Amino acid sequence: FLDTSDINEIKEVAEWGLIDGVTTNPSLMRKQGQDPVEVIKRISDLFPEDASISAEVVGGHHEEMLDAAEAYTAHSRNITIKVPLTMEGLKACRYLTTKGTTVNVTLIFSPAQAILAAKAGATYVSPFVGRVEDQSFDGIGLIKSIDEIYERCYTKTSILAASIRSVKQVI
């Protein structure tokens, strides 16, 4: 997955055929002076329906997140809604997944949080490897722990490691 909102960069890398999707967030898009809904539409048009384009929703309340999700998912089936791991984000995740929307729960820093996200129906969880390691904890160990738990209990939720900062972490 490519983590950017730069359409030219996404077009170039998508042509290589080496990525499965894109993750982005509204702050990246606004930095470029662009409307997030329009950017997500343009990105999703570059990929087939089985790709995953994670569009992050913001809001303090789950209803705000659901409103933002509706604006994104109206365009294409390849849109995955990215919600934060908060109680409101988990409420939004549960609702969206019961309606058939794929959801990426982000800001995962512990196995317990990954369990909550899976219980809420997350399609993906995004543990922040680099940020965990910035705090002198084992980010790759976090991925391994979540994987072990999911192997035993939650086979439908996939791990999408985030905040990767080195080739070693990728491997």
Verify whether residue 91 is a known catalytic residue: no
Three-class DSSP category at 48 = coil
Torsion-angle region of 127 (φ positive above 0: left; ψ -120 to 50: alpha; else: beta)? beta
* AA letter at 67: D
Three-class DSSP category at 88 = helix
Torsion-angle region of 136 (φ positive above 0: left; ψ -120 to 50: alpha; else: beta)? left
b (16+ CB within 10 A) / e for 26-62: bebbeeeebebbebbbebbebbeeebbbbbbbebeeb
Q: Are strands 2-3 and 158-159 parallel, antiparallel or unpaired?
A: unpaired
- Cβ-in-10-Å burial (0-12, 13-18, 19+) of 5 comes to buried
Residue 66's closest CA among 36, 89, 43? 89
**Choice among 11, 31, 41, 82 that is catalytic:** 82
- List, by residue number, the catalytic residues: 82
